[in-house]
Structure 1
Amino acid sequence: MFRLPISLLSVALLLGGCSLIPDYQRPTSPSATQYPQGPAYPAASQVSSADQDWRRLFNDPALQQLIESALVNNRDLRVAALNVEAFQAQYRIQRADLFPAVSATASELRRRMPVANSKAVITSTYGVNLGVSAYELDFFGRVRSLSQQALLSWLATEEARRSAQLSLVANVANAYLTWRADQELLALAHETLTADEQSLRLTTRNREAGKSSALEQIQAQTSVDSTRASLARYQRQVAQDLNSLTLLVGAPVPDTLPARPLSSDLLAQLPAGLPSDLLQRRPDIVQAEYQLRAANANIGAARAAFFPSVSLTANAGTSSSDLSGLFKGGSGAWLFQPQINLPVFNAGSLRASLDYSKLQKDINVAQYEKSIQTSFQEVADGLAARQTYQQQLQAQRDLVQATQDYYNMAQHRYQSGVDSSLVFLDAQRSLFSSQQGLITDRLAQLVAEVNLYTALGGGWSTFEPITQ
């Protein structure tokens, strides 16, 4: 008597492979086939995937310690990881619909029934059942399409976590470098203020002795006031930088953190060539493609909704008025209830759902293409920054050396009485400004290297490319 249900289940398993999901084709890249070339760009060659991650990029042990702490304690990254687990759970829920949910129930029913001109009668009924309730036979792949969509959404969330981790590493590095740069600017302001105050005292004594004019004294005072303003600004920036770094790290920054100057070898040199599989290594691009494929799978579910859906309810068990007679002969019972739902009229709801699914796919295509264009622009900017910052830094070092010579000569001539203090103060301001510029340019060059590391997809040695 169970041949009919078994036959239907066999047919359901055979037709379960039927899918109405459109064949997926990766969209053509909207960007150029090669990166820009010219005086601002280095000669870039294509290389294979390199074994490069953030531990090999950053040479500063203090920065490595902060990044390690951020990867453990940062709350945004923790939320991204929890989102991955949440989407994994949603996929498991959706995937469970592919299989029948079998449940076993045991029941007891006691009933009191009044009888005319007699005492009431109390009856008892006992039952045990094992069955399947409203299991949809996936003839047209609707449930399988939804399961595929949930799987791809989960994988997209995992790529979002990788992207968040890559951004966190870069943000911690940039915040740390900015903090160190402002500390060096603060120390430079302290040194300059000491020199300015000494010049002011010397100019004041000369003014009292009649050797200098009031104009020279006022000029010396303005240098002191200007440097004091810079000192206060850098003190504020150092404190705010530390607060930002603490937020990113997710834990207090140790006071005994060793410091290395920006001029030291803080970052390892990234490979000169460009990776040939950039589009498969950047997590934001891979995430966008997973989202596109999920939208493509959702079209299959929307298409399947136009066809009849078949659900199956079946159970078998035993029932008796006595608990001892539950499993005796003649107490068995079974129920088989297939149901077919055929959409006849829904005021265009199914058509609108299909149109909406197709529009969502078009939106994801545009977002995927946008992510490629963004990555192209970021890599091109990073290449231009790498080439030009090297030239700019060398020019700035030469400027600092020239202004240092100018300052030394002006100081000697002023102390010898050959020139007035105005020339010496001008040399002092020029030296301070050029030294500030060198620190700022070095910071910009380091930040550009970190941004290029991010644009190239970060640590990709353990990444497996997306499969079609």
Structure 2
Amino acid sequence: MGNLQVGGSWELDFFGKNSGHLHAALGQARAAEAERDAARVLLASNVVRAYLQWARLLEQRQVAERMLAQRQQMLSLVEQRVKAGLDNLLEVRLNETGRADTRTSIAALNQQIDASRNALAALMGQPRLPEGLAEPKLGRFKHMAIPQELSADWLGRRADIVAARWRVESARGDVQVARAQFYPNINLAGFVGFQSLGFDNMLKAGSMQWGVDPAIRLPIFEGGRLRAQLRSKSADVDAAIESYNATVIDAMREVADQSQAVSAVSMQQREQGAALRAAEGAYDIAQQRYTAELATYLHVLSAETAVLAQRRQQVDLAAKALFAQVGLAQAMGGGWQPSPEQAVVHSTNLN
């Protein structure tokens, strides 16, 4: 006997079960893509921070090395004054202490510079930084233009918010599936083919046969299980909405904090700039008095101490300003844009 048949089946999706499965799966996939992009933005921000930290430590070391040279000059002058009977050993010991402290600071800075280089290499996925990589300088970094007003449009440019929104869509798809389970499930199965006692009779008209077989599944005795399943999926939607709202609120807080940090550091820089100019003015006066033989060179070096202290603070504030701008850029999405597939309708609060 010969038998040649082709069969097929079709599930009639009258109540949206299959479309719910599709929405849930797409939501999970899009959320995973957005979370991947959020991780990339975080990594890029950390790479910039590590590079800025390296630049800050290098410039701090430059200031510390000048301070060490100044301490050495002051110690030499005090030793000469002691030999001439114009001073005592107390001043020598005090200057030796200051020189030792400065050397300790330089050693600590060298260790921190090595650690910052290692951190940057690790973030770049390398065992060490490439040979010949130019050392960064804070003055070469361009400051970001800060908008006067921050609208809610940037919410769509944060990958973590988009990911949370897709999680809500996925959970809603699961609810659609759970609701569809309460309704009958209708399947159509059919076949068409040939059957005969001999192969030579297989394709004759009398050997052809076909059939259609509808199947209906009624969830009559599963009401309790289905209701529990629907309540569970509905709770998942509520949890996803709360997670989304929390992500939005946290994002707004981050933007507000970083924006205030940028403004606060800018104000600190203005005040510190005035202090630096005053210290440099005093240093110039001390040099003029020394040239006119109205003061000793120790007065010049003492005045320079205040200048170096202000320059050290200037380096810290310059780095702090750049760190705040990196934080603001990250809080506003880091330049990320959703792809057309990831685009989803946004609202700042879901119900």
TM superposition score normalised by structure 2: 0.83
Query: Pick from 43, 49, 59: which aligns with 1:184?
Result: 59
Corresponding residue for 2:181?
305
Corresponding residue for 1:80?
none
2:344 matches 1:466: yes
Corresponding letter in the other structure for 1:449: Q
Corresponding residue for 1:146?
21
Q: SS at 2:139's partner residue? A: coil
Q: CA deviation at 1:455?
A: 2.2
State whether residues 411 and 424 of structure 1, in contact with CA within 8 Å, keep that contact through their aligned partners in structure 2. Answer: yes
Corresponding residue for 1:402?
278
Deviations 1:45-64, CA, capped at 9 Å, x for gaps: xxxxxxxxxxxxxxxxxxxx
Instruction: Return closer, same or farther for 1:330/1:461 CA change in 2, 3 Å cut-off.
Output: closer
Q: SS at 1:263's partner residue? A: helix
Deviations 1:242-288, CA, capped at 9 Å, x for gaps: 22222223345444344553234523423333245233333322222
Alignment of 1:318-397 (within 5 A): 318-320=194-196, 322-346=198-222, 348-397=224-273
State whether residues 41 and 336 of structure 2, in contact with CA within 8 Å, keep that contact through their aligned partners in structure 1. Answer: no
Corresponding letter in the other structure for 2:317: D
State whether residues 145 and 300 of structure 1, in contact with CA within 8 Å, keep that contact through their aligned partners in structure 2. Answer: yes
Instruction: Return closer, same or farther for 1:130/1:392 CA change in 2, 3 Å cut-off.
Output: same
Corresponding letter in the other structure for 1:371: T
Corresponding letter in the other structure for 2:22: S
Higher helix proportion: 2
Deviations 1:189-234, CA, capped at 9 Å, x for gaps: 2222222233333333443444332221121111112112211221
Ranges in structure 1 where 5+ consecutive residues have no aligned partner = 1-124
2:144 matches 1:263: no
Deviations 1:157-181, CA, capped at 9 Å, x for gaps: 3332332333333222222111111
Corresponding letter in the other structure for 1:162: D
2:241 matches 1:241: no
Q: CA deviation at 1:318?
A: 3.0
The number of aligned residues is 342
Instruction: Return closer, same or farther for 1:227/1:126 CA change in 2, 3 Å cut-off.
Output: farther
Corresponding residue for 1:250?
125
Corresponding residue for 2:155?
279
Corresponding letter in the other structure for 1:163: A
Structure number with the bigger relative contact order (C-alpha 8 A, sep ≥ 6) is 2
Instruction: Return closer, same or farther for 1:225/1:407 CA change in 2, 3 Å cut-off.
Output: farther
State whether residues 118 and 129 of structure 2, in contact with CA within 8 Å, keep that contact through their aligned partners in structure 1. Answer: no
Corresponding residue for 2:100?
225
State whether residues 11 and 187 of structure 2, in contact with CA within 8 Å, keep that contact through their aligned partners in structure 1. Answer: yes
Corresponding residue for 1:435?
311
Corresponding residue for 1:215?
90
Instruction: Return closer, same or farther for 1:452/1:463 CA change in 2, 3 Å cut-off.
Output: farther
Instruction: Return closer, same or farther for 1:324/1:279 CA change in 2, 3 Å cut-off.
Output: same
How far apart, CA to CA, are the structure 2 residues paired with 1:383 and 1:195? 39
State whether residues 270 and 453 of structure 1, in contact with CA within 8 Å, keep that contact through their aligned partners in structure 2. Answer: no
Query: Pick from 2, 6, 12: which aligns with 1:137?
Result: 12
Q: CA deviation at 1:460?
A: 6.0
Deviations 1:296-319, CA, capped at 9 Å, x for gaps: 221111111122222333333334
RMSD: 3.2
Query: Pick from 30, 43, 46: which aligns with 1:171?
Result: 46
How far apart, CA to CA, are the structure 1 residues paired with 2:193 and 2:235? 49
Ranges in structure 2 where 5+ consecutive residues have no aligned partner = 347-351
Q: SS at 1:339's partner residue? A: strand
Instruction: Return closer, same or farther for 1:462/1:338 CA change in 2, 3 Å cut-off.
Output: closer
State whether residues 316 and 334 of structure 1, in contact with CA within 8 Å, keep that contact through their aligned partners in structure 2. Answer: yes
Corresponding residue for 2:165?
289
Deviations 1:59-106, CA, capped at 9 Å, x for gaps: xxxxxxxxxxxxxxxxxxxxxxxxxxxxxxxxxxxxxxxxxxxxxxxx
How far apart, CA to CA, are the structure 2 residues paired with 1:376 and 1:322? 78
2:346 matches 1:454: no
How far apart, CA to CA, are the structure 1 residues paired with 2:233 and 2:337? 36
Q: CA deviation at 1:414?
A: 8.9
Q: SS at 1:340's partner residue? A: strand
2:320 matches 1:444: yes
Instruction: Return closer, same or farther for 1:334/1:384 CA change in 2, 3 Å cut-off.
Output: same
Q: SS at 1:174's partner residue? A: helix
How far apart, CA to CA, are the structure 2 residues paired with 1:152 and 1:385? 36
Q: CA deviation at 1:184?
A: 1.0
State whether residues 269 and 314 of structure 2, in contact with CA within 8 Å, keep that contact through their aligned partners in structure 1. Answer: yes
Corresponding letter in the other structure for 1:313: A
State whether residues 182 and 223 of structure 2, in contact with CA within 8 Å, keep that contact through their aligned partners in structure 1. Answer: no
State whether residues 7 and 191 of structure 2, in contact with CA within 8 Å, keep that contact through their aligned partners in structure 1. Answer: yes
TM superposition score normalised by structure 1: 0.64
State whether residues 128 and 318 of structure 1, in contact with CA within 8 Å, keep that contact through their aligned partners in structure 2. Answer: yes
Corresponding letter in the other structure for 1:217: V
Q: CA deviation at 1:378?
A: 1.6
Q: SS at 1:274's partner residue? A: coil
Instruction: Return closer, same or farther for 1:129/1:242 CA change in 2, 3 Å cut-off.
Output: farther
2:78 matches 1:203: yes
Q: CA deviation at 1:462?
A: 7.7
State whether residues 52 and 319 of structure 2, in contact with CA within 8 Å, keep that contact through their aligned partners in structure 1. Answer: yes
Corresponding residue for 1:194?
69
